[in-house]
Amino acid sequence: MRFQWLSMAHTMRVPRVLAFIALASCLAACDDGGGDPNAQIGPHPTLPEPTQYLLPPLHIARIVGWQKGETPSVAQGLKIQALATGLEHPRSLYVLPNGDVLVVESKSPAVQPIRRPKDIVMGWVESLSTSGGSNQETNRITLLRDTHGDGVPDVRSVFLDHLNSPFGVALVGNDLYVANTDAIVRYPYNSGDTKISAPGTTLAPLPGGPIDHHWTKSLVANPDGSSLYVGVGSNSNITENGMEAEKNRAAILEVDRATGRWRVFASGLRNPNGLSFEPQSGALWAVINERDELGPDLVPDYLTSVKDGGFYGWPYSYYGQHVDPRVKPERPDLVAKAIVPDYALSSHVAPLGLAFYTADNLPDTYRGGAFVGEHGSWNRSTLNGYKVIFVPFKDGQPSGMAQDVVTGFLNSDNQARGRPVGLAVDKSGALLIADDVGNTVWRVTSAVR
Amino acid sequence: MADRQTLGSTARIARHPIHPMLVPFPIACFVGALATDIAYAMTAQMMWSDFSAWLLVAGLIMGILAAIAGLIDFLGNPEIRAQTPAWPHLLGNATVLVLSFFNALVHTRDAWASVVPTGLILSVIVVLILPVTGWLGWSMVYRHGVGVDP
């Protein structure tokens, strides 16, 4: 703990007096920097006892950005280059059938209500960890077109503008759906369009403000196009904004595309993102950001299949029946039926992107598995995440240890050059990565082709 | 006992000592925080815990200001320092501020852990200390005449 606070003071340049207050007050509940994250990857993570802090571990990589010529590092057999730079907080990606790439540039909803003094401090901390605070144009979708297939887009246009903290995109036929933070909006799209000027039509409202804690609404259409699935994150870490604020949140909603009628498909998923259909089983999968402030190794974020009507624990419990002591009144009836998720990714990695790989550009070992974009930790003295990993799959289930695929988002001083968020696979089979701190879209291809 | 003429306050405005003007704020805030902590423990409604967090921060800010004015009087006049209740009054209220600082940190935890049990216990201890230190402070003014204009 001592080391971690000194290192925080160093990397974030927090006033020294704050660091001393932190040192003094950690006496009651000191921790180490956390164990080996690899012990928490896979179907059976080790779970330590929860800890309560006077000040939770707080370590965010200071932002330095990419210098000219710098790129992330890739695993053997791969190469990486920037598809587009100079974007404004790109958070997710969508590839249209003609190969055009949509880059969703988005920032958090403007003003979050301040309910207690902590909100002021946490707002300041978050402002240090993101590049989204600039006044540049954002909350728009930029289209990239690479006519020659050489990884260098020759068309770049503003596809849709003046959106409300958008994140998810899904195309069914000629209907393009954008998941703003407060609604799914439909736009007419014709193949080859580089800009949509028609006004959108709201298909279904989504839980948005005035409190809008987890605001990214991930979106996917089912294979026959009849329904849309949208991830709605919780409105708090662990119900500290009140239970009323959690209505229809921490859930995946199923929206009927024809009528806009919706229902809760699965719940207890604190912040579900990267909604995707697993290619072999056809099941819906997602990556989930689990709760903070219980310790450096609690609670592991996870990758899981999502069952119709399933309850995955939040807020009452985690990993099945591990009861969270912070939630009252208790609900033993719900804890009893909480489903243990499929595959832990280790604690605080903040997975926000998921892409199953079925193309054939990358080496064969990646076929059928899943890439996961890990935005990176704040609630842990030893940083975790800040990379893109690969989880091998067999028969529709993860099989074996996750591998690092794209790293180097942190430099050797643990400063953030970038942070990966959403993932997509382009028409040529390359892996695309949205980097919301480096303001870049990265493109990973096979080194040999 | 020292003469009233020699027990003058150093931190004062127009011959009114500042310290007694400020002390009601932390007292009211910390007593209020205990009340809202109890309300939270009984209802689990986060609104009450949020009230406690604001009351603790406000009480700390005003309490530190009161402590500064009190310390100036304490350090500025050896006759005040020599009064029997002076040291216990100072140490007791310093304890109140330290405990309330930790209590404010406890209240930054999320949901139930922000109050029960540690926050509630700290609030109770603070409110038990306050009448003692208050009594000592009032003794200095009403019995010994500290800061009273001759």
Q: How far is A277 from chain B (nearest CA, A)?
A: 34
Instruction: Take residue A112 and report the two structure tokens written for it.
Output: 């979050």
Q: How far is A219 from chain B (nearest CA, A)?
A: 29
Burial of A72 (0-12, 13-18, 19+ CB in 10 A): buried
User: What confidence tens digit (pLDDT) does each residue in B79-93 have?
Assistant: 999 999 999 999 999
Number of domains within chain A: 1
> Residue A14: inside a domain, yes or no?
no
**Banded pLDDT at A32 (limits 50, 70, 90):** low
CA distance B42 to B112: 11
A38 contacts: CB under 8 Å, gap ≥ 6: A346, A401
Which residue of A20, A235, A240 to mutate against B (max B Cβ within 10 Å)?
A: A240
Q: How many Å from the N-terminal Cα to the C-terminal Cα in chain B? A: 15
Half-sphere exposure at residue B45, Cβ-oriented, CA atoms within 13 angstroms = 8
**Domain range for A181:** 31-446
Closest B-chain CA to A119:
B108
> What Rg do the C-alpha atoms of chain B give, in angstroms?
17
Collapsing DSSP to helix, strand or coil, B80 comes out as helix
Which residue of A25, A27, A115, A118 to mutate against B (max B Cβ within 10 Å)?
A: A118
> Residue B23: inside a domain, yes or no?
yes
Collapsing DSSP to helix, strand or coil, A78 comes out as strand
Residue A6, pLDDT above cutoff 60: no
CA distance A376 to A416: 10
- Count of other CB atoms within 10 angstroms of residue A250: 27
Decide if A239 and B107 are in contact by the 8 Å CB cutoff.
no
CA distance A360 to A43: 28
Number of domains within chain B: 1
Is B53 in the A-facing interface, judged by CB distances under 8 Å? yes
Closest B-chain CA to A22:
B105
> Residue B132: inside a domain, yes or no?
yes
- Backbone φ and ψ of A355, nearest 5°: -145, 120
> Residue A80: inside a domain, yes or no?
yes
Closest B-chain CA to A291:
B110
CA distance B109 to A172: 44
Closest A-chain CA to B51:
A116
> Residue A169: inside a domain, yes or no?
yes
> Residue B56: inside a domain, yes or no?
yes
Distances (CA, A) of B44 to A66, A245, B108: 47, 14, 16
**Banded pLDDT at A113 (limits 50, 70, 90):** confident
> Residue B1: inside a domain, yes or no?
no
Q: How far is A337 from chain B (nearest CA, A)?
A: 23
- Count of other CB atoms within 10 angstroms of residue B24: 12
DSSP 8-state secondary structure symbol assigned to residue B89 = H
Polymer length of chain A: 449
Q: What pLDDT score does A181 carry?
A: 97
Decide if B110 and A240 are in contact by the 8 Å CB cutoff.
yes
- The fraction of chain A above a pLDDT of 90, given in percent, is 84
User: What confidence tens digit (pLDDT) does each residue in A60-91 have?
Assistant: 899 999 999 999 999 999 999 999 999 999 99
Residues of A with CB below 8 A from B46's CB?
A: 115, 239-242
Q: How many CB pairs under 8 A join A and B?
A: 60
Instruction: Take residue A115 and report the two structure tokens written for it.
Output: 């309910």
Amino acid at A378: W
Closest A-chain CA to B106:
A54
Residue A4, pLDDT above cutoff 80: no
Polymer length of chain B: 150
| Exposure string over A90-106, b if 16+ CB within 10 A, otherwise e | bbbbbbbeeebbbbbbb
Is B98 in the A-facing interface, judged by CB distances under 8 Å? no
- For residues A163-174, average pLDDT: 98
Which of B46, B102, B113 shows the shortest C-beta gap to A325? Answer: B113
Q: What pLDDT score does A134 carry?
A: 55
Q: What pLDDT score does A137 carry?
A: 74
Is B104 in the A-facing interface, judged by CB distances under 8 Å? yes
Written as one string, the DSSP assignment of A183-252 is: EEEEEE--TT-S---SPPEEEEE---SSS-SS----EEE-TTSSEEEEEE--SSSSSTT-GGGGTT-SEE
Answer whether A439's CB lies under 8 Å from A89's CB: yes
> Residue A197: inside a domain, yes or no?
yes
| Exposure string over A263-278, b if 16+ CB within 10 A, otherwise e | eebbbbbbbbbbbbbb
CA distance A160 to A156: 12
Residues of A with CB below 8 A from B54's CB?
A: 116-117
Q: Pick out chain B residues at pLDDT < 50.
A: 1
Which residues of chain A have a Cβ shorter than 8 Å from any chain B Cβ?
A: 25, 28, 52-55, 115-118, 121, 236-242, 293, 315, 325-329
Written as one string, the DSSP assignment of A376-418 is: --SSSSS----EEEEE-EETTEE-S--EEEEE-SB-TTS-BS-
Domain containing residue A294: CATH number: 2.120.10.30
Q: Is B90 left (phi over 0), alpha (psi -120 to 50) or beta?
A: alpha
Is B115 in the A-facing interface, judged by CB distances under 8 Å? no
> Residue B9: inside a domain, yes or no?
no
Q: How far is B128 from chain A (nearest CA, A)?
A: 23
- Would you tell me the crossing angle of helices B118-138 and B24-43 to the nearest 10 degrees? 150
Which residue of B109, B120, B121 to mutate against A (max A Cβ within 10 Å)?
A: B109
Q: How far is B50 from chain A (nearest CA, A)?
A: 5
- Count of other CB atoms within 10 angstroms of residue B96: 25
Residues of A with CB below 8 A from B102's CB?
A: 25, 28, 54
Written as one string, the DSSP assignment of B109-138 is: S-GGGGTTTHHHHHHHHHHHHHHHHHHHHH
> Residue A5: inside a domain, yes or no?
no
> Residue A11: inside a domain, yes or no?
no
**Domain range for B52:** 19-143
Q: Is B36 left (phi over 0), alpha (psi -120 to 50) or beta?
A: alpha
- The fraction of chain A above a pLDDT of 70, given in percent, is 91
Closest A-chain CA to B111:
A240
- For residues A346-375, average pLDDT: 97
What's the whole-number average pLDDT of chain A? 91
- Count of other CB atoms within 10 angstroms of residue A67: 8
| Exposure string over A353-376, b if 16+ CB within 10 A, otherwise e | bbbbbeeebbeeebebbbbbbbbb
User: What confidence tens digit (pLDDT) does each residue in A259-273 have?
Assistant: 999 999 999 999 999
* DSSP β-bridge partners for residue A188: A175
Is B110 in the A-facing interface, judged by CB distances under 8 Å? yes
Q: What pLDDT score does A2 carry?
A: 33
The answer to pTM > 0.90 is yes
> Residue B100: inside a domain, yes or no?
yes
Q: In terms of Cα–Cα distance, which of A428, A379, A430 is closest to A405?
A: A430
Answer whether B18's CB lies under 8 Å from B12's CB: yes
> Residue B105: inside a domain, yes or no?
yes
Q: How far is A79 from chain B (nearest CA, A)?
A: 43
Decide if B104 and A236 are in contact by the 8 Å CB cutoff.
no
Decide if A293 and B110 are in contact by the 8 Å CB cutoff.
yes
CA distance A306 to A286: 7
DSSP 8-state secondary structure symbol assigned to residue A63 = B
Residues of A with CB below 8 A from B57's CB?
A: 117
**Banded pLDDT at A28 (limits 50, 70, 90):** very low
DSSP 8-state secondary structure symbol assigned to residue A165 = S
